[in-house]
């Protein structure tokens, strides 16, 4: 008579592992338990979420590729060549790759963020390439996209490391946004006028600063303990 030391149930002699928890009992070859991923009730919820994400991914794949085919054929029939459909097809493909990254690498931000960055940069580069010569990608597209991703990454990291997700996070997000606006204006000015003069981004920054300060004041002095999810719940 053998017992599983995890579940405490009595098992048949011929069983090498507990069918309930997968714990290996015997000294014989380790065989796979019957239901590898269904030991606990919550395993099924995780399995269901995974399946739902896969279904959404498959459906989005069908819709995206149908869209690409339709755009390409319509363009070919009307213009006898690929013109506007190149932009449409590239956008659809890039969107689907982004969705794939989000759905299939569930919350693995170290894969999602660089993956999204590469996809969007490639899309912008291709847009520039479709109307040669390549000119705006290196001047504006590349630096602004990188600045946007750095900003978003800072907010994501803050969200994850913050012990308390309150108005303080909202304030820091506003500050990051004003920083992003300044960087964007620098590159736009440099590209368009070959000279940098901070104007609109400074207005944005000085407008955002008091809002951020008010939010920080509310968080640290008045409503400490107010969580964003409870405050904004619908």
Partner 1 sequence: MKGKGIDTKSMQEVGWLKLDNAAKLFPAIMSGELTSVFRITVFLKKPIKFSAVREAVEITARRFPYFSVSLGSGLFWYYLEFNRQLPRIQTEEKIPCTAFAAKRKNEPLYRILVKENRISVEFIHILTDGGGAFEYLKSLLYTYFRLTGNKIQVTEGIILPESPITEGEMEDGYKRFFRKKTPPPVKLTKAWHLPYKLNDKPRLKVIRSEIALDKLLEIARSHNVSVTEYIVSVYLFSLQKIYLEEKEKVKKQTRGVLRIEVPVNLRKKLPSKTMRNFSLFVLPEIDLRLGVYSFDEILKIVKYQLQTGADIKQIVRFLSQNVGHEKSPFIRLLPLFIKSMAISAVYRKLGSNQCSGILTNLGCVKLPKEMEDLIDSFELVPTPPNTHVKISCAMVTFRNQLHLNFGNISRSTNFEMHFLKHLTESGIPVKVLNNK
Q: Which long-range contacts (CB under 8 A, 24 or more apart) does 169-175 make?
A: 169/228, 170/215, 170/228, 171/211, 171/212, 171/213, 171/215, 171/216, 171/219, 172/212, 174/208, 174/211, 174/212, 174/215, 175/208, 175/209, 175/212
Residues that bind partner 1 (CB under 8 A): 3, 6-12, 15, 18-21, 34-35, 38-45, 47-48, 51
Q: Which of 57, 63, 64, 82 is nearest to 72 (CA)?
A: 82
Q: Return all residues near 117 (Cβ < 8 A) that are at least 6 apart.
A: 145, 146, 149
Please state the closest distance from residue 88 (CB atom) to partner 1, in A: 31
The nearer residue to partner 1, 194 or 230, going by C-beta atoms, is 230
The nearer residue to partner 1, 79 or 224, going by C-beta atoms, is 224
Reported as type and span, the H/E element at residue 11 is strand 10-11
Please state the closest distance from residue 25 (CB atom) to partner 1, in A: 11
Please state the closest distance from residue 81 (CB atom) to partner 1, in A: 44
First to last CA, the chain: 56
The nearer residue to partner 1, 20 or 215, going by C-beta atoms, is 20
The nearer residue to partner 1, 34 or 196, going by C-beta atoms, is 34
The nearer residue to partner 1, 38 or 58, going by C-beta atoms, is 38
202: tokens are 């400074």
CB 219 within 8 A of CB 166: yes
Please state the closest distance from residue 28 (CB atom) to partner 1, in A: 18
Please state the closest distance from residue 18 (CB atom) to partner 1, in A: 8
The nearer residue to partner 1, 39 or 109, going by C-beta atoms, is 39
* Phi, psi dihedrals of residue 90, rounded to the nearest 5°: -65, -45
């Amino acid at each position: 008579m053998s017992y599983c030391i995890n579940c405490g149930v009595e098992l048949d002699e011929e069983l090498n592992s507990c069918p309930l928890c997968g714990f290996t009992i015997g000294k014989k070859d380790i065989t796979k338990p019957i239901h590898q991923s269904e030991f606990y009730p919550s395993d099924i919820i995780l399995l269901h979420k995974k399946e739902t994400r896969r279904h959404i991914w498959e459906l989005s794949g069908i819709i995206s590729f149908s869209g690409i085919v339709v755009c390409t054929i319509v363009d070919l029939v009307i213009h006898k060549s690929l013109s506007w459909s190149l932009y449409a097809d590239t956008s659809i493909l890039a969107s689907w790759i982004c969705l794939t990254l989000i759905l299939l690498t569930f919350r693995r931000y170290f894969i999602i963020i660089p993956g999204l960055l590469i996809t969007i940069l490639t899309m912008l580069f291709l847009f520039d390439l479709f109307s040669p010569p390549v000119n705006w990608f290196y001047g504006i597209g590349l630096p602004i996209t990188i600045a946007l991703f750095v900003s978003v990454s800072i907010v994501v990291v803050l969200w994850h490391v913050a012990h308390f997700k309150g108005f303080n996070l909202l304030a820091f997000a506003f500050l990051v946004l004003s920083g992003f606006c300044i960087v964007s204006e620098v590159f736009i000015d440099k590209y368009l006028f070959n000279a940098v003069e901070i104007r609109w981004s400074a207005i944005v920054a000085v407008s955002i600063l008091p809002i951020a300060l008010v939010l920080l004041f509310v968080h640290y002095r008045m409503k400490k303990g107010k969580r964003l999810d409870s405050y904004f719940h619908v």
